[in-house]
Each structure stands twice: as C-alpha cells, then as structure tokens.
Structure 1
C-alpha cells in the first residue's frame, strides 16, 4: 500500500465517480480503476460497491477512508514542515519512451546545462501503457513520448516527425526490399504494442488471441526476431535498437510524432527551460533537414 493509493481512494470517496476522480489526479480512468482494485485486493475487502449507475462506499470503505484522511493530513503537515514552499528541483526527472529525442539529446542537454548549470537530469524509462500517466501522477517532471493521442490534458511540444520503418525478420521475403508499401505487408501478422492510447493500434495488431505483445519500443526488435512477425518503428530505432535478427525497412504511411509532454499547471523554471531547449533544438533540426 502506498500514499498514492490512499489519495486515490479518498478522492473516489469524495466524487463517487471513477472518471472524475481520475481527472483530479491527471490519470486515465482505467489505470485509476486498476489501482483501486489492487488496493482492495491488498486489503482483502471491497471498499466501493459499483453498479452501472452508481459508486458507493462499503462499510469497510467508510472506515478505511476515515483513517486514510487522517494519515494523509499528518503526512502533508510533516512534508510542509520539512520541505517548505515548492521550489525548482535540483534534479529534473525526465521520462523517456524508447529512444526519446534520439539524435537531439546532446544539444538539448547542453542548452539545459547552460541555463541551469546546477540542475541534474535523471531519466525514467517509460512504456506505452504508462507514458502519459507517469507524468500525470507526478512521477516524472517532463516526458518524451510517442504522441498517439489520448493526452488532451497535457501540453505537448512536438519534435520533427520521423519516418516509419517496418521491422522484419532477417531471411524473410521482405528483408531484401529497399522500401515497403502497405500492399507489401498486407496479410502479415504484427506484434502488438500494449497501451490504450487511441492511435497506438496503427503501430501493430489491435489485439486478439495469440498476439505477441510488447510494452516498450525497446522490445520491438527482439519480439520480431523471436516470433517471426512484423513490427513498426521510427527511423532512429535502426541505430538505437539494432538486432542481428531483424532488418529495418522504410515503410509508407504516416510519420511518427515524438513530443515533449508537461503538465499544464507546472510552471517551474526547470521544466520551462527543458521545454524551450527541446523546441529550439527541434526547430533548428527541422530547418536544417527541410527543403
């Protein structure tokens, strides 16, 4: 049991609505509901009764929420005494999905260090399933994500869009192609990225029995090599995730959108500096690579 689960339970008790309670914590309703279910399993008793029309506290839930409110109030008072006002962090936690900013990392880091020389950058590995929710929950300060929709409550600064590539098994009939069309790959099985963002299905199979599931871009090449199915990636993966069992082949279709995501209510200088550095470097790269 952790403090975040206590806060989720208290908020749900106040709103009696999973969607509204999830919004309070900048998290999607599904992972919010899973966290409540995990808490109930840990306690061995239901805290909330659910029907299609209403959510209500059970007697055990009423007792638990009363204690949880008291504990959270004590914790908040203790933290306020120790930490004082919220200031810029000495370390900026950067959530990174896959290769993140790819070739732009060194320039972004240099710009951040020139403006905030005392600031440390710590990376936190993300996967498709949690790439937005980790930021919403405050576990990271900024996140470099694969923008596939479902993040209207966050601020997204897009970097230059990247060409997409098919990841094909070495020795397959597609492995010798210089470029692939959608007709070339029609009828082939695709590995499935795990996540509920609306645009993620375009990057693999939508699911079903017998699927090969991957949670992170870093696992795509290995999944293709072991299953013999196809995968999809953005161009920098050729360099960042090489694998002797696969080939990366250009594939027609929409490009990959990589973005720096932040919370709209986070106005700390360190966050603003990272966003500005990413925008500046991405703009320079776009001008250099454009026509």
Structure 2
C-alpha cells in the first residue's frame, strides 16, 4: 500500500474537497483523484462518496482512516528515530483549538533562546484524540483542554480561563452583557463531544436538542449555521472570531488549558518545551501584576 496515497486520503478526509486537498499536496486534482481511486481499488471498498456538490466519508472510510492516521504517525516516528543525531531535533506538538492563545509569543521566544536548534512540528488535535495522540506517540507533547480522564499522563495546568457562551448574532441574547445558567434553559445547544469530562464543563443544559462538534475550532461555525448556543473559553473570542456569532461571559466552571506528556518521558526537547510554557505563564502574570 502506497504511503503517499494514505496521506492523500487523510487530507481529503479533512478537507472534503478534491481541489483543496490536491492543492495541499501541490498536485492537480485529476492525478490526486486517481490516487484515491487506486487506493480504494486496492482496499476493495469505497472510502469516499462523491457527488457534484460534496464529498463525504463512507462507513468504511470512517473505520479505515483513523487506523491509517495511526500507521502514518508510527511511520513518521520511525523515520525520525532513524535520522538520529544527524538531523535537527524535532518536537511534535499537538494543539487543541487556540492552544496557548496569548501566551504563544512568549513561549516561542523563551524556547528559541533555550533551544535555538529545536524544530517544532504542529499537529492539530480534537477532543476525542487530544490524550490518545500523546499515548500513541503521534505527538511528543500536547496542549489540551484538561477535562480529566488522563491519569496515565502528566497533565500540567498552564492557564485557567473564563467560560463564554457563543450565541448567534441574530439571537435576542446577543445584546446581553453576560449570561447565566438560567438564560440557557430549554435552548438548543452545540455540544462538545469526545471526553466524558466535557459534560461537566459544558453544563447539563447543553445536552438537549444537541448539535455535536469534535473540535473547539468548529464551534463558531456550528453556532452560526445551526442557530444553537455554544460553550467556549474566553480566548476564542479573539482567536476564533466569526461574523455570525457573539461571545458573552457565561457563569460556570472555567476552562483549564494544560500540557500533556507521557509519564516516563525523559527527552530534553520535551522538558524544554514544558519549561518554556510554564515560564511564559510566569511572564504573563508578571505583566498583569505590573499593569496599572
């Protein structure tokens, strides 16, 4: 089975558009499509349904592609190991949503001073795989939404941020200064799924008439298109703006951003990244404390 075809299939599953997926690999749509067809013939099943208007995953595709992703992650890890000391050290960083938000500049600056040789590779995560990506070695360290359920990992809190409601711009709630739990009663919600602890953070009200999302980056679009309410963390208002929604403070538990790594992790690159993130938090607190 051709590794490149697997990568093409994963990109198509993310983009659900042949043209965009082909451009991501710097080839034309026609040869890209042929590679997908060849992969499907080799597997003996269709991975994608195509119409003139849309591309979607088949049930076989839903089962196959997560396994392909794990295979490619393991292959990449083997290739990185084989390169040994001859290559620049590479750190694969998993990022959920807005990641470190306002702390990215400070963390990058500190890390570049401490480890100027270190190359960072970013991997986008969603709620269902934010912990598993660390467990399986797909990433070396991850910036996650800490909702519990990861006792086998080292999960270190780095940022605590207020919970916000994401409301449709045309909603009567859009002009409010803030919302309470009672404002949300009997309203349909966009619900984050993928980790059991998300239910406590989102609130029980958010599980009626639900539209489900797997990634925090999808919440603004889901709210704008469904007309439902959503829950997010405060930095999303700056990092994930959308003309069809408004972000309003919402009473309830805060969102905790954390870094997750494996318990027996001993690599200096991982330790350097953790130290830089914690140092950036200290820098931000100092800046906040000295602001008049």
> Which TM-score applies when normalising by structure 1?
0.68
Structure 1 pair 88–253 and aligned structure 2 pair: CA distance change class (3 A): farther
Structure 1 pair 86–263 and aligned structure 2 pair: CA distance change class (3 A): farther
The aligned runs of 1:1-291 (5 Å cut-off) are: 83=82, 90-203=89-202, 211-289=210-288
Shift of 1:128: 0.3
The structure having more radius of gyration, on CA atoms, is: 1
Contact 1:192–1:204 (CA under 8 A) maintained in structure 2: no
Give the distance between the partners of 2:197 and 2:269, measured in 1 at CA: 31
Contact 1:87–1:268 (CA under 8 A) maintained in structure 2: no
Give the distance between the partners of 1:167 and 1:237, measured in 2 at CA: 9
Structure 1 pair 88–152 and aligned structure 2 pair: CA distance change class (3 A): farther
Give the distance between the partners of 1:96 and 1:115, measured in 2 at CA: 21
Partner secondary structure for residue 131 of structure 1: coil
Structure 1 pair 214–144 and aligned structure 2 pair: CA distance change class (3 A): same
Shift of 1:191: 1.1
Structure 1 pair 209–257 and aligned structure 2 pair: CA distance change class (3 A): closer
Contact 1:164–1:252 (CA under 8 A) maintained in structure 2: yes
Q: Tell me the C-alpha RMSD between the 2 structures.
A: 3.1
**Alpha-carbon displacement from aligned partner over 1:26-69 (angstroms, at most 9, x marks no partner):** xxxxxxxxxxxxxxxx899xxxxxxxxxxxxxxxxxxxxxxxxx
Give the distance between the partners of 1:183 and 1:139, measured in 2 at CA: 41
Give the distance between the partners of 2:207 and 2:160, measured in 1 at CA: 30
Structure 1 pair 183–123 and aligned structure 2 pair: CA distance change class (3 A): same
The answer for unaligned runs of 5 or more in structure 2 is 3-42, 46-73
Q: What residue in structure 1 maps to residue 19 of structure 2?
A: none
Structure 1 pair 88–259 and aligned structure 2 pair: CA distance change class (3 A): farther
> Which TM-score applies when normalising by structure 2?
0.67
Q: Which runs of 4+ in 1 moved over 4 A?
A: 84-89, 204-210
